[in-house]
Structure 1
Amino acid sequence: MAGRREKLRRVGIIPEYRGFTPDGLASGDAIDMTIDELEVLRLCDLEGLNQEAVAQHMGIARATVAAICSRAHRKVANALVNGRALSIEGGSIAYSPITTTTAAWPAKEVDAMRVATTYDNGNIFMHFGRSEQFKIYDIQDDKVLNEQVVGTGGTGHGALAGLLANGGVDTLICGGIGGGAINALTQAGITVYAGAQGNCDACVEALIAGTLAQTGEATCDCHGHDHEHTHEHGESCGCHGHHGHDGHEGCGCH
């Protein structure tokens, strides 16, 4: 008789950070933590939900939540106390973007493509996971129909992919971004143009003109390290594109 198939656990985020290491050399082999174990820790310990609410979020039994939580706590304690590296991947999961209110976002034009850029005073904000604002553009027939700066509404790091998906975003232009965030956005059906910098409007113009390159792998070296670090090298996150159009001072692409 075939074994019973494990029920998929719904997770609201795909982690941007896939591993942690101790200061200095790690002791022994890395500890493997699954994404559903991380999700239980996030919902229970970070969001403060009780196990019954977590069970409803993830589509599993409360007893399963309790077992996962206990297992995840032991792994974290082992890593912290014994200096073990922690690797986060795998698990029987189904990605289910968090339902986040986007009431302040304008209605999307019919048959339009919605582009979002990370936003900081007119320029691309360089750390996707810390973005507090996006500028969204509805584009049709290579023309911008509407544009507006919108806030994240306090949506935390790691849940931005769900926010953008619920806001109808088809394409994201950003600076530094981790591989886990790219995976989450891709699973949400959003195309990512990473490694951009400079003026947001110029980057969108380059996208429309077909000169904004999509690297698909331009991740910022600061991810997994101190987020206060800035790009220290001229090539930054590996953006490849053209400079600005129509008088804008370039999107900072090379």
Structure 2
Amino acid sequence: MARPTRCRRICFEPAYDSFAPGGISSGGKIILTLDEYEVIRLIDLEKLTHLECAKQMEISRTTVTEIYETARCKIADSIVNGKELVISGGNYRICSETPANCRRNCCKHQGKITRFIQQKGDNTMRIAVTYANGNIFQHFGHSSQFKIYDIENNEIVSQQVIDTNGQGHGALATLLNGNQVDVLICGGIGGGAQNALAQAGIKLFGGVSGSADEAVKAYLAGILTYSDSATCNHHAHQHSCGQHQCGEDKHGCSGNN
């Protein structure tokens, strides 16, 4: 009886998932799986050895070598013969850690990741959370990172941290809109940003604090405590809000960002 294939661990899904020849195409298509993509990324871009790659992906060195050779052959076929290269499928799982707490140090390169991530599916809801060290960052306009969650059938199917590479309400709202975000969970947020998000069709849940992951879980369960009027004072960096849960309870609060 054949041994089952071991699931390959990858850090994140690629930001670009297809490449087509600029000249005359042969009409053919090559499928590069995500585990093949990850091996190419780790060995050829990150300069890891086959053994280091194997440890990071939690597979054997022999398997890494086999994947690497197959992936390079596919890439060569695409380049030489003018075939479209599509990155899709494979036997893999996404690393559930973040750059701040990843014990294997595999996510050290996530700061290099593009600010834009791949297109979401037709039945996918995308939630963004202002993010810092596992928690909800409390000043939307100064957010340096968002954590992005893709939701299908009310379950988290993928998550990824992206850098904003800058600050400013308008720029951040544009970034979220470009990443097809449907819902934003954050702490304090200014009126201008709220208007920009509303114009982009992004539903806002402000005045939230604590763990980013737990906030998303609470939202999916319909029990997220949030504020309809969470605002930021740009001079004192304070916000005040009348909080309530998605379901019922109402509270009052004030706090520093």
TM-score scaled to structure 1, two decimals? 0.48
Larger Cα Rg: Structure 1 or Structure 2?
2
What TM-score results when the alignment is normalised by the length of structure 2? 0.48
